[in-house]
A and B are shown apart, each in its own frame.
Chain A
Amino acid sequence: MFNEEGPGEPLLSIRGLCKNFSPGAAALDSVNLQLDRGRTLGLVGPSGSGKSTLARCVTFFEKPTAGEILFEGRALWSLGNRERLRTRACIQLIFQEPAASLNPRFTAAEIIAEPLAIQNRGNRATRLERACRLMETVGLPPGAAAKPAPQFSGGERQRLAIARALALDPKLLILDESFSGLDLTLQAQITALLKDLRKRLGVTYILISHDLALVAGLADEIAVMDHGRIVEHADTAQLLAHPQHPRTRELIDAAMALELP
């Protein structure tokens, strides 16, 4: 793979992004954000601070009220239909409840192959083969390919959702509170999996969570959101050592309180 834009161009660049669901109530209030290739960004903040809305704007679910989102230098919301379809494949979102986002009527292999079919890649046989390889990648036994989704455990479904997102070779993977429902052992397993994938495939991540501790272990840099704005954005180590904004300090305190005394 070669980069047409060169290393200087950020993968994702958001300028003055605003989103109002109803007049006067801003879910996003002129958000600016830049993310370079291969980096992992932790997006933290209390509930209702606009994290998910930001993710939904980047993944074409919500049309921004104002501002621009540039992906590889091109404005997302002015793409034509075909370009848009291609770009959707490059940006994948894993939902708050990945388990519910799997069609209960499909088998594991069908779930992973479906995005490939939607994007018209390969034929049935190659798609199924790729699905099986992806199941291996995320640590699912390939023998489970024919099992329907509801028969998998919570952690396995999480892996299934990740495998499906990876099927399209995304450049940017957004995980929206995807670990919140998992127990600590599973969280650790999925974290290890994400680290491994980052090393092998060079995926850029945005990890959204209200739990700073969860994100800090993975993220290179962290952006703190509050009331639709990004109030602080710095490298992880620096942000933890020298928090500038009171909201950041609150989040750090909350994370510390959970550690054993």
Chain B
Amino acid sequence: MKYAAQRLVHAVFLLLGVSVLSFLFADLAPGDFFSELRLDPRVSADTVAGLRAQYGLDRPLPVRYAAWLGSVAQGNFGYSLAYRGPVGPLLRQRMRGTLLLTATATCVAWLLAVPLGIWNATQRGTWRDGFFKFVLGLLLSIPDLLLAIVFLVLAVQSGWFPAGGMQSLDLSSLSPVERLRDVVWHMALPVAVLVIGMLPILVRHVRASMVEAMNAPFALSARAHGIPRLRLLFRHLLPAALNPLISLFGFSLGTLLSASLLIEVIMGWPGLGPLFLDAIMARDFALVLGVVMMSTIFLVAGNLAADLLLYRMDPRIRVR
């Protein structure tokens, strides 16, 4: 419990640090939400200055940061100038789409990667291993972006999958089962892109940890006792290979999220990605910061979960 509290405090400080840095960098970037107005000859400089003062953009940085922190405490995450409302509800609404995509992709990728990696490790040194390595390398070298575009083209050409969106227009007329099917159908392509992007890395890591565990002297001694293959795998090898994989799990959550933002924009998925892009284009500072903080929270939460899981699984960490 003490360990969990300690990690939680770490996480909070990390988030604070990220927010301060984001604030600083955003402040360094030229222009703000009202910069475009200055180009319009009909709007006087006084009006722009008045608007900036009205929304508090002219206040010094520490004051603005403090105001923002206060807003975070209320769950509002600041005020979006483009959407003319608090950022919090916007984030919450879009977060659902991103979470659905990322969580599904993470599950699918890991469910595929673990058995593939184990199988791959047992094939070490055979032609199958070499062939598989080649295929994975090929997959790894295809950028997510290209993959997404190719998938989209195929979807449009074949008409098998919808080319964008999260649900059909006539959703309200469908039964719950059909609605679920509809969402799954819309999700298939973006999830496939994310999984294919992540899979090679995961499989290689699973394979490497498994090979290392197989070569460990204690695995050798278990074999000297005549251990059956499955018992060796589940009782000795997998637990030994698990630690780096749990850490990788936390990390993969974060990576998948940032990949997801990009894929969402290309494939028209109503998640944080398109919102983020719009916010940057409009220089909607609070909204940009909100999405950045959401991603960071997600990443930190993933790593925190991995740390706690490690703590539960490995007696050695508890001893320290």
Q: A97-B217, A102-B218, A148-B319 are in contact. Are A61 and B239 (CB under 8 A)?
A: no
Whole-angstrom distance between the alpha carbons of A84 and B225 in the complex? 10
Whole-angstrom distance between the alpha carbons of A103 and B216 in the complex? 9
Task: Name B222's contact: one of A60, A89, A114, A168 (CB within 8 Å).
Answer: A114
Q: Count B-side interface residues using an 8 Å CB cutoff.
A: 21
Task: Name A101's contact: one of B220, B235, B316 (CB within 8 Å).
Answer: B220
Q: Does A27 contact B (CB under 8 A)?
A: no
Query: B224 touching A88 by the CB < 8 A rule?
Result: yes
Q: Does B231 contact A (CB under 8 A)?
A: yes
Chain A residue contacts of B235, Cβ below 8 A: 114
Q: Which of B208-257 contact A (CB under 8 A)?
A: 216-218, 220-228, 231, 235-236, 239-240
Chain A residue contacts of B315, Cβ below 8 A: 105, 148
CB distance from A121 to the nearest CB of B (A): 11
Query: A59 touching B239 by the CB < 8 A rule?
Result: no
Whole-angstrom distance between the alpha carbons of A115 and B228 in the complex? 11
Task: Name B240's contact: one of A89, A103, A114, A119 (CB within 8 Å).
Answer: A103
CB distance from A61 to the nearest CB of B (A): 7
Q: Does B314 contact A (CB under 8 A)?
A: yes
Chain B residue contacts of A161, Cβ below 8 A: 221
Q: Which of A31-65 contact B (CB under 8 A)?
A: 59-61
Q: Which chain B residue lies CB-closest to A81?
A: B226
Q: Which chain A residue lies CB-closest to B227?
A: A118
Q: Does A151 contact B (CB under 8 A)?
A: yes
Whole-angstrom distance between the alpha carbons of A84 and B223 in the complex? 12
Query: B217 touching A101 by the CB < 8 A rule?
Result: yes
Whole-angstrom distance between the alpha carbons of A100 and B220 in the complex? 10
Task: Name A100's contact: one of B216, B224, B236, B316 (CB within 8 Å).
Answer: B216
Query: A95 touching B226 by the CB < 8 A rule?
Result: no
> Binary interface profile of A, 102-130, with partner B (CB < 8 Å = 1, else 0)?
11110000000011001100000000000
Q: Does A142 contact B (CB under 8 A)?
A: no
Chain B residue contacts of A100, Cβ below 8 A: 216-218
Chain A residue contacts of B225, Cβ below 8 A: 88-89, 114-115, 118-119, 168
Query: B222 touching A118 by the CB < 8 A rule?
Result: yes
Query: B218 touching A61 by the CB < 8 A rule?
Result: no
Query: A93 touching B224 by the CB < 8 A rule?
Result: yes
Q: Which chain B residue lies CB-closest to A99?
A: B217
Q: Does A150 contact B (CB under 8 A)?
A: yes
Query: A101 touching B231 by the CB < 8 A rule?
Result: no
Q: A105-B315, A118-B231 are in contact. Are A59 and B224 (CB under 8 A)?
A: yes
Query: A95 touching B220 by the CB < 8 A rule?
Result: yes
Chain A residue contacts of B217, Cβ below 8 A: 95, 97, 100-101
Chain A residue contacts of B316, Cβ below 8 A: 104-105, 148, 150
Q: Does A85 contact B (CB under 8 A)?
A: yes
Whole-angstrom distance between the alpha carbons of A12 and B226 in the complex? 19
Q: Does A178 contact B (CB under 8 A)?
A: no
> Binary interface profile of A, 192-226, with partner B (CB < 8 Å = 1, else 0)?
00000000000000000000000000000000000
Query: A89 touching B226 by the CB < 8 A rule?
Result: yes
Q: Count A-side interface residues using an 8 Å CB cutoff.
A: 27
Query: B218 touching A101 by the CB < 8 A rule?
Result: yes
Q: Does A158 contact B (CB under 8 A)?
A: no
Chain B residue contacts of A60, Cβ below 8 A: 224
Whole-angstrom distance between the alpha carbons of A100 and B224 in the complex? 14
Q: A61-B220, A148-B319 are in contact. Are A103 and B236 (CB under 8 A)?
A: yes
Query: B314 touching A95 by the CB < 8 A rule?
Result: no
Whole-angstrom distance between the alpha carbons of A119 and B226 in the complex? 7
Whole-angstrom distance between the alpha carbons of A151 and B320 in the complex? 11
> Binary interface profile of B, 146-163, with partner A (CB < 8 Å = 1, else 0)?
000000000000000000
Chain A residue contacts of B228, Cβ below 8 A: 118
CB distance from B209 to the nearest CB of A (A): 14
Q: Does A236 contact B (CB under 8 A)?
A: no
Chain B residue contacts of A115, Cβ below 8 A: 225
Q: Which of A63-91 contact B (CB under 8 A)?
A: 84-85, 88-89
Q: Does A248 contact B (CB under 8 A)?
A: no
CB distance from A73 to the nearest CB of B (A): 20
Chain A residue contacts of B221, Cβ below 8 A: 93, 95, 101-102, 161, 164
Q: Which chain B residue lies CB-closest to A164?
A: B221
Query: B226 touching A118 by the CB < 8 A rule?
Result: yes
Which among B216, B220, B221, B227 has the highest number of chain A CB atoms within 10 Å? B221
CB distance from A82 to the nearest CB of B (A): 10
CB distance from A176 to the nearest CB of B (A): 11
Chain B residue contacts of A103, Cβ below 8 A: 218, 222, 236, 240
List residues of chain A with CB under 8 Å of any chain B CB: 59-61, 84-85, 88-89, 92-93, 95, 97, 100-105, 114-115, 118-119, 148, 150-151, 161, 164, 168
Q: List 7 A-B contacts (CB under 8 A).
A: A88-B225, A101-B221, A105-B239, A118-B225, A118-B227, A148-B316, A148-B319
Besides the known contacts A88-B226, A118-B227, 11 further A-B residue pairs in the complex with CB atoms under 8 A apart: A61-B224, A95-B220, A101-B221, A103-B222, A104-B218, A104-B316, A105-B315, A118-B225, A148-B315, A150-B319, A161-B221
Q: Which 3 A-B pairs have the closest CB atoms?
A: A88-B226, A115-B225, A101-B217
